[in-house]
Structure 1
Amino acid sequence: MTYCGVMTMKHTMVTETGFPFEMAEKHITVVRHHRWIVGHAIWAAVLAVVLVFAGGCGAKSAEQPKEVGESVASARKKYATSQPYDVANKEIVLGQSEGTTFKLADMDSSVTYEPWFRKSHGATPFVLYRDPELHTVEQVYSTASIRSDGTLTISPKEQYDEEVRWTDEYGSVQRDDQGKILRLKLSSGNRWGTREILYLAQYNDLKTGKLLKKPLVHLMRIKPSSGQLARPSTTMRIGDDGNLTLSWKPVRGAAGYVIMQVGIGGAEKWPNRDGDVTTTATSRRMLASTTATSWTTSDRNRSSLDAASVRADDLADGTSGTLWQQEHYGKLRDYELFVLALDDDYVPSFESDHILGRDIAYKIPLMRAGETLKKENILSPRTIDDVPVTYPVTMADGMIRRFPVHLDEEGAKLYVHRQDGTEWVKIPFRVIGTELTDEFYVRASSKDYRGKLADHNRKALAARATGSVQTVTPMETRNIVATKKDAYSDSIPSTDYVVEADNALEEYLGANMAAGKEYLDLKAFPEVGDDGVLRQAMDLVRQRNPILPAVISYYYSPSKKLVELRYGDLKDALKQTTTLISKVGAIKKAIIKDGMGDEKKVDAINRYIADHAQYDYEALDKKNAAEAIADQQGQDSREAIKAKDDMDLNYGYAWKPEGVLLKGKGVCASYASAFQLLASQSGLESAYITGQTSGGMHAWNYVKVNREWKMVDPTWNDSDANPNAYLNLSLKDDRYLSTHIPDSSFVNRYHN
């Protein structure tokens, strides 16, 4: 499904080794935003809407890169104060049954270990987490675990046995011949389990017992045991019917696969120094088991993806709800999804990279918004003219989204009432983008009802979403072979572009992408333990820096700490980037004056866009036409692919900043990305936001004005009837909240 805010890109997997490009060095400026976005991996939050994951590493060794450049080290220092914890320079590599020992002060010494957690029963020098956000606790190592000689061993022997009930693809519990419930053992008393990377947080100075200013995190990489299966390399897509599909390549030696869900949050909470809480995983369950290499949700199991604490539809009666509902509205009960491969003895592989509930919940239609349907009297229209163009649906994040209603013109039947002779039409309908179907019974005339059905469907098509997020696709697992000894970039290249970044990794990735570098050395970033962390960082960099050349795929070798990026037409992309940089520089020089405050800068940028751009209805019509062909012929049909390729080639600019800035026209995605680009280059902190409005999916901006986030909708501000009605509005402004519903990932990031 697509929408006005963002544009769908279909990427091709790249398997051949590319060649590096040598770029001239230019001046670089970096915009630093000292904020920590809670809820994503070490730097992150993401936009990403379609997630794909890569597996292990190639066997051949690449050329050894040179030593890490000074610019990376200086960038780390620059962002140090904004990061929630430090990362140890060296990984701890352990076998499945191995432990690691730390030397602390002897127990008979006078050293007292200070507790990090305010409400903890005692000091906890080490806490083991399964995620880089330090949300999900695996095991706590308190001072009670310190031996008399002052050593403390972090060992899998401390782990609890963990198992889940074996289920089939319908969720039914499986039993053996004797009727005993079959259980899948995920970890045991002498094995670390299925997580390849664990995060060991150290809270105390090991000699003095004093608390560290912030935790020191040791990455623990668990080596596979002899004969252990490779972890699945998983891709994800959300289909036109709103169902989630996970797919993976066959794992050699696998007898089957299980799809697992781990809940984040629950009864046991660890308060941190500021009184907030770090939650533990409270539930791990098997959603399905299969011998196939894909799994798709259905009516039977889609409810398992529900992440809402309180649904908007529960408050549709207009009341403020209970106190509990008020406090939990908009908050998610997060979870992780991943796939395990099993051998003939049901021994699991490591987990595939995780899909987070918060990243997909706002895209998964869950059920009819029943209370809203009643309130708006949608269920019983009197005539065809009263049939709604859109239909309210509760999503897995608890928010209500409106999807177009398509009436079945072929299946509609006319009935004549026997007693009074009135004419009625039974109209089957489906809610586009979901599996929801139903029927309307309305009064109609036999003379014109079919024409009215066709008119309704044309309106529904116009209301349909028209674009999707460009994401980065990992390459298939293979070898990385550098073509030159110095092929791998290990420093931050210079460019005229101002890179928006929250940390050294984002700055490093963004600057190298701006320079068209294909080979990157990540040895200076030990926190990038797996592909999931890198993917989230790359998605965020791409979202916040729309001017960067499009990376269509990449491959990461965790063992070598090397990345290969693959671009589209890099030469044209860099030329386009240079043109955009020049244009943005000229605009900035013309409209941003010395001494301007934040609000005046925002006003100037908004005014420039409104004066120099117009909405590209022709591009939107072409997108709608391509979508209609995909609906009728199937999205993989030759006609649909040709229509989409033609649209992308001739009208793709309308979803990118160059549409508004270079051609003077675009849809809302172009307006919002152009605003973000101009704002960032003018020293403002801004964000590209997607979500729902009465007209369907939409894109707009948040911008920080005098340290407070404000809302700007440059598309709607470009209006003769009501200009600048959505300029510098508070995120709590009723005008904004009554017309725009941001996707839940942005709610968690900016509203909580």
Structure 2
Amino acid sequence: MCESVLRGTSMQAGWYPDPSEPNRLLRWWDGQQWTAHVHEVQATAAVPAATPPLAPRRRRLWPWLVPAGGLVVALVLTLAIVPGLVPGGSAGASLSRIDELPVVHTDESLGIDFTEPVLGLSDTDARLEMAFRADIADGDDQLGSLTSHKWAVRLFSDASLRSEITTAAIQTGDRVRINVYEEDHATWFDTTTDENPKLDLKKSNDDWGLHSDYYLVRYVDADGIEFERPVVTRFNFESEISAPAVSAGVDPESPGELALSWTPVEGADRYAIVYGRSPVALGGEFDDINQTLGLYYVYLGETSDTHWNIGESFTSQSGAFPENRNRGLERPERDEDSVLQYGDGEFVPTDLSGDEIGVVAISSDGATSPLGTVNASSAVGSLPSRIATYSYEAASEYSQVVAGAREIDAPKFVPYIDFTGRIQHSPVTLNEPRLVGETVHAMLVSENGFEIDYEKRIGPLSGAELSQMVDEFNRAAIDLAGNPGELQEVAIETIEAGTPQTEYEDTGLPTPTATSHPMVDYLAEHMLAGTIKIDVSEWANQPGAPDPRDAAREAAAQTPLAFVRHTSVARNEVVQVTYSYPVSELRQKQQEVHESALVAIESMQLDGKSDAEKVTAFNDYLSDTVVYDYDAYAVYPDTSDHTDAYNLVGVLTAGTGVCAGYADAMNLFAQIAGVESVVVSGKVVEGGYHAWNKFKVDGQWLAVDATWNDGDVPNHEYLLITDAEFTGSAEREEIADRWIIPAYAQLYATP
């Protein structure tokens, strides 16, 4: 309740009492939501008050709420210190005349009247009734009796008045009975058998007694006239075993994870932990009464201790990207964590105000206590649920990993989804760096416990140089961590800089001449322009559209001047490209190689020649000018020290390369000369991975292996032949998904 009210206010960004530990911590409110940033309360810290209203329907607004932490503290303290509000107050009172209880205390600061409590009730089948001469439905029964009475009366299970219990109002004459629904989902079954309750929270078949305390809030009198202040009445029931008093926080030994602690209960030998989810949070609608009857409780685990960390029952770390935290508390899957959620009004957070985390004391004979609970909005809301995968990819510089770079290029934060569904940002540090050859291996560790492997080839480096680079990175990250506002700003700017692109710059460079699908052409243009994140969402829902992964691999294979090293696809809508060279250097490399290719084409004197003669000229040029790079071949697949040999740069500027360079050069020559061509990838039966070409000559596809034609004595043995003519040691098989969209591979078959 308080969280939702706070989100609707214009309360300025600043440090406020943490909702879960208001006496110990201050938490940063960014003007719209709680963030993950906290620090210890200082003696001089000021706690500014705010007065956002809580409004019953169609009634005057009461300015009686303060920031979340302050409300919890004030209400709990009030209930603890006001005479008559502690156990022993009105043990003989009845729920049937609850509206007749006298007000015994007024809290002027909160604007609430408190009546005598009704404690220690023995009849869990008791009726909660009151006089009500006005129309409880207020003339509006659109949502039925489950909601239409809330302008007049509500029921909560916690002192902070956040966790509302589902009730129905039944009016007979000038009396109203309030029915409570909290038993329908109060049994947790063994999920493997759907039988044999593992934990039964029901108290016989009666309505009351699931919770340790109830708080009735009345806003109007029997005639429907607004009270000067809301009137709160606390009541509870006898129980064989007392409910534990529960508090929630973050485990200091496991950052970011939910930890609970509670008072020991006499007669209990173990405790069960449950999470109660409201029907609304589960996606229920009010058009079906069965979806609104009480909370749905998820069993999280048991312990004999009086403290519990969620990691004790669930593996919070998956050990690999992406990682989750606080498993077992997951919300229903939200929409993709798109950068669009940073815009105003783009996203409505999950409402946790009705959820609760509870602890049940259990005796040796199986008797259970009422639930001791804390409200989920304060205990869970700002905790991390999972890494915001797409946002992390958008922020990460991994897409520009380049051999020889001399800096740690990881983002200094990890974007994550909290339990309200919002994207937050946790600062990171680089831990346990080590050098393996010329590659740095380390662990990015966020402030709230996410861990991500970091690996990058940096080149020859001393231990002292590595330490200096890591220290510089960590100092910058720590500076951001100390300024949450700047961290948020830097994070958003970084992520938005990686927003997927639909538009590309026309480079004027040669493009593939024989692609299998228009998506490949689109991707090829982007790759030539050096786009890191390519938006392919336009194709995602088109009937018959290829898998973007296949299209991206074809575009990379058939666009030699793009110098693509690797592609990946996010959400089937974004192709992320890693280039062999920094994007800032890409254009220079392209121009150098393109000019070399144009010089080579001019030397071939192709004017007036047929396509077959042109292909022969391409082959002979490489045989005359290129020497096979056996050193680069020997270290495959570790090509990091021989990048040029595996693309056009080595073949056309240094005169040396391996099969991939030969095939790319043949393809580029054909693109410049206007001959339809493709690079083909596969395996030689008696060898390993290999690349060659096919050219469309006189209406049919024929194969050329320029690498194998460049022997000790240049020859034409593998020039413009059919697939079947690769025999003996040259026999090979194509691996379609390395060079073409597999469904179209047959279009390139030779006769």
Same fold, judged at TM 0.5 (above):
no
TM range (shorter): 0.3 to 0.5
Higher relative contact order (CA 8 A, sep 6+): 1
Q: TM-score, normalised by structure 2?
A: 0.44
Max Rg structure: 2
